[in-house]
Amino acid sequence: MAATIIDGKAFAAGVRGQVAAGVAALKAGHGIVPGLAVVLVGEDPASEVYVAHKHQATLEVGMRSFEHKLAADTPEADLFALIDRLNADPEVHGILCQFPVPDHLSERRTVARIDPAKDVDGLSVTNAGLLATGERALVSCTPLGCLMLLRDQLGSLSGKEAVVIGRSNLFGKPMAQLLLQENCTVTIAHSRTTNLPEVCARADILVAAVGRAEMVRGDWVKPGATVIDVGITRVPHPQTPGKTRLIGDVHFESAVAVAGAITPVPGGVGPMTIACLLANTLTACCRAHGLPEPEGLTV
Ligand SMILES: Nc1nc(=O)c2c([nH]1)NC[C@@H]1CN(c3ccc(C(=O)N[C@@H](CCC(=O)O)C(=O)O)cc3)C=[N+]21
């Protein structure tokens, strides 16, 4: 039986609709407009595209969008001065500094400067710790999006074998924490894991965030498993010179023949990341004002 192809784009549109409804209710009931500030340091073309996407999506749900583009050689002190201003600005409920940052800056130090209550990327030590201890956190957008897709696909995740390939603070670790919270048996695999194909083959839920295009093959996938592909590698388009296309960490053609359900790239996890960024901004805004949080947008 052919696998279900999980339509992340459609699901993300639904989440954005829920966020828009929440924003409208805040405006009507309390005169509050959630605001998201995105900071971009340098001129990386891929980052420019993402940031433009985020700006557009933020406006579409009725939020304020504050874009701050800084020169590539911006000293850390200037970046921190901006973050301090955004931390203090009551119109800003979420702050995201686009990664990667130029070499002279540190992602860790930058995230640490952001008020955890406005850390809509969920990357601060405070939010990572809150998630790990099962307390109310802001959860990193991509893992949150993956969890929403998994719950939609599978209902209860309780008792399932989940394998997450990748151990980054941005994705692998928070993904594993979320799956653990859902009562999965969680394995975190990584570049030093021995017998990776064997480890993957026992997964009911296989989440691939290795950062290597098409590394996970169909014969690593347990028949009927749900496969979530977090990889986004941009490669030159095979037919059209000058254009690029995105490929995932999973070899789609071979995996789709074995899996029960699978996310495509593009159109799978990627759109959920932006939808969850908006959801987190709404959540942060509600918390800042002591108002109830919209249901279904948080864990
Ligand atoms: N502080 C920070 N937080 C991030 O969350 C963050 C970041 N920095 N730096 C870069 C990565 C990457 N990322 C993506 C967001 C949306 C898509 C997305 O919408 N992808 C579409 C396709 C887009 C296209 O075709 O280019 C899809 O997969 O269907 C992909 C990747 C967020 N990131």
Residue 167 labelled as part of a binding site: yes
Domain with CATH 3.40.50.720 in the chain: 141-271
Intervals of CATH 3.40.50.10860 along the chain: 30-130
Residue 100 preceded by cis peptide, ω within 30: yes
C-beta of 139 in contact with ligand 1 (< 6 A): no
Q: Which atom of ligand 1 is nearest to the CA of 100?
A: 9
Q: Is the pLDDT of residue 1 over 90?
A: no
Among the options 121, 204, 229, 249, which is catalytic? 121
Q: Is 28 exposed, middle or buried (0-12, 13-18, 19+ CB in 10 A)?
A: exposed
Question: Does the annotation list 232 as a binding residue?
Answer: yes
pLDDT, tens digit (0-9, with 9 covering 90-100), for 122-132: 999 999 999 99
Written as six digits, the tokens of 188 are 């975190």
pLDDT band at 276 (very low <50, low <70, confident <90, very high): very high
Residue 113 has pLDDT above 90, yes or no: yes
In whole numbers, what is the pLDDT of the chain averaged over residues? Answer: 97
CA 19 to ligand 1 centroid distance, Å: 19
Q: pTM of this prediction? A: 0.97
User: Which one-letter amino acid corresponds to residue 224?
Assistant: G
Report the residue among 9, 50, 263 best suited for mutation to probe ligand 1: largest number of ligand atoms under 8 A from its CB. Answer: 50
Rounded percentage of the chain residues whose pLDDT exceeds 70: 100
Q: Determine whether the shortest distance from the Cβ of 280 to ligand 1 is under 6 A.
A: no
Q: What is the pLDDT of residues 58-107, one digit of tens each?
A: 999 999 999 999 999 999 999 999 999 999 999 999 999 999 999 999 99
pLDDT of residue 252: 98
Local confidence band at 2 (pLDDT 50, 70, 90 cut-offs): confident
Q: Are 184 and 158 in contact (CB under 8 A)?
A: yes
User: Which CATH architecture best describes the domain 30-130?
Assistant: 3-Layer(aba) Sandwich (3.40)
ipTM for the whole complex: 0.96
Give 141-271's CATH code, choosing from 3.40.50.720, 3.30.43.10, 2.40.128.50, 3.50.50.60.
Answer: 3.40.50.720
Assess whether the C-beta atom of 80 lies below 6 angstroms from ligand 1: no
User: What's the pLDDT score for residue 14?
Assistant: 98
Distance (Å, whole) CA 20 – CA 38: 19
